[in-house]
Structure 1
Amino acid sequence: MITLHGFAASNYYNLVKHVLLYKELPFQENLLYGGSEELLAISPAGKVPVITTNEGLNLSESSVICDYLEETYPDIALYPENSSERAVVRQIMKVAELYFELPSRRLIPYAFSGTEIPESIKDEVRQALDVGVIAISRLCQFSPWVAGDKFTMADIYVYYVNIVASFGASQLDWDVPAEIHGMKTWNDSMSQLAITQNIEADRQANMPEFMQKVTAQIQADNAK
């Protein structure tokens, strides 16, 4: 059986979990947090998530895991058959990761610690998100799904990327997804899916323990 390693407060963990559930693949979960020796033993960069395949192979990096699951278990497909359409889906995923998720992730330490973000960092994040807004607006259709009339891996990927992009509302006073026509309606539709709601319940259940670990790390860093 596939094992999914990580923790439910992680958006990338939940992204992979959504793929596993959508494909109706049996799997078990193993709670691991970043920085643990157990995680470093199976993840080269010590990042969450990791899966251990049925053959005992450990794989990290969400996009790599998603491709592996699609290629190994193609019966319930999340990529189009046409190679050009598949490339468009992957392009959307990469743009969302590079210009939505990664810049927004810089806001997380300040949101969790309650400290003020330097204006220089705010400016850098805004500039990167500006690129993301333009690119996503050009690439995505939201008719009704991200890449058109069929649900694809891009829907799952962009939805969980948006969870981190939502920090822009609290930290930059900027509702970034609202800048993109059709994204809010699509995001609401995604949030109503049964799989999404089950994952969200698990995320909420994990948050108190996760925040305890975050707080302890912040205190340890401040004590240095």
Structure 2
Amino acid sequence: MRVLYHLPLSPFSRKIRLALAEKKLEFELRLEKTWERREAFLAINPAGDVPVLAEEDGTVFADSWAIAEYLEETVPTPSLHGRDAKERAEVRRLVSWFDRKFNAEVTENLVGEKLMKRQARFGVPDSFAIRAGHANIGYHLAYIAFLCERRNWLAGDHLTLADLAAAAHLSCVDYLGDVPWSAHEETKVWYARVKSRPSFRPLLQDQIPGIPAAPPYADLDF
């Protein structure tokens, strides 16, 4: 069986978990504590980060976008990259938005400071970064609402990798209870649609030892 090396609250790992599940591909999850810099893991991915997908024949793929492209080319149905050139370009733009902009402005400032530093023992959280994360998230939630007002899903009429990337990042922040859902009802409705999909259920069962999920995290009627 293919193996996905991951961290539970890595949004990039979560994006690929969702993509695999949406394509109904079986896989085994293998926890990789990237801060330990295991030699065996570095041998298959010198970058030392997750996700990494290892196929049954021994082929290894690293980087979440490269893995997503590989999955789309080898298992094209259902398509997660868009139905035509324009939609595919929009999917790529939005995945980049969440994996770069949202990650830098929100995920790293909240999940990185409050959880990853603690797990990796990299020092105390930076209160300035946490305040910045709280200040930035509203802008992104409003942007998701803007997209939802004009489309059925974030990139168009169909669920795509853009929705999975956005939901992966938000789910990590939501684990900590740091998403102000009450002030962003339209975004909450969209997230509830993604959260209710069968592919999302395993993510809602994730638990970090010593850091329990916020009460609404696994609640579909949050």
Given the two structures, how large is their TM-score scaled by the length of structure 1? 0.74
Q: Aligned Cα RMSD in Å?
A: 3.1
Distance in 1, Cα, partners of 2:97 & 2:86? 16
1:218 equivalent in structure 2? none
Paired amino acid for 2:29: E
Indicate conservation of the 8 Å contact 1:99/1:129, yes or no: no
Deviation of the 1:150 alpha carbon: 1.3
Q: Deviations over 1:12-61 (max 9, x none)?
A: 22221111111112323333221341322222221111001344222222
Q: Residue type of the partner of 1:67?
A: E
Q: How does 1:18-97 map to 2 (within 5 A)?
A: 18-34=18-34, 35-37=36-38, 38-97=40-99
Cα distance in 1 between the residues matched to 2:18 and 2:45: 20
Q: SS in structure 2 opposite 1:59?
A: strand
Tell me which moved more, 68-77 or 104-113.
104-113
Q: Distance in 2 between matches of 1:142 and 1:4?
A: 35
Query: Could you say which residue in structure 1 is the equivalent of 2:200?
Result: 196
Instruction: Name the structure 1 match of 2:220.
Output: none
AA aligned to 1:197 is: R
Q: How many residues align?
A: 202
CA contact (8 A) 2:4 2:53 kept: yes
Q: Which amino acid aligns with 1:163?
A: S
Q: Residue type matched to 2:187 in 1? A: M
- Which of 148, 160, 172 in structure 1 is aligned with 2:168? 160
CA contact (8 A) 1:80 1:86 kept: yes
Equivalent residue letter for 2:153: W
Tell me whether 71-80 or 123-132 shows the greater mean CA deviation. 123-132
Cα separation, 2, equivalents of 1:185 and 1:108: 23
Secondary structure, in 3 states, of the residue corresponding to 1:4? strand
Distance 1:179 1:100 in 2: 18
Does residue 1:101 correspond to 2:103, yes or no? yes
Please list every run of 5 or more consecutive structure 2 residues that lacks an aligned counterpart in the other structure.
Answer: 212-222
Quote the Cα distance in structure 1 between the aligned partners of 2:18 and 2:51: 12
User: 52-61 or 89-98, which moves further after superposition?
Assistant: 52-61
* SS of structure 1 residue aligned to 2:92: helix
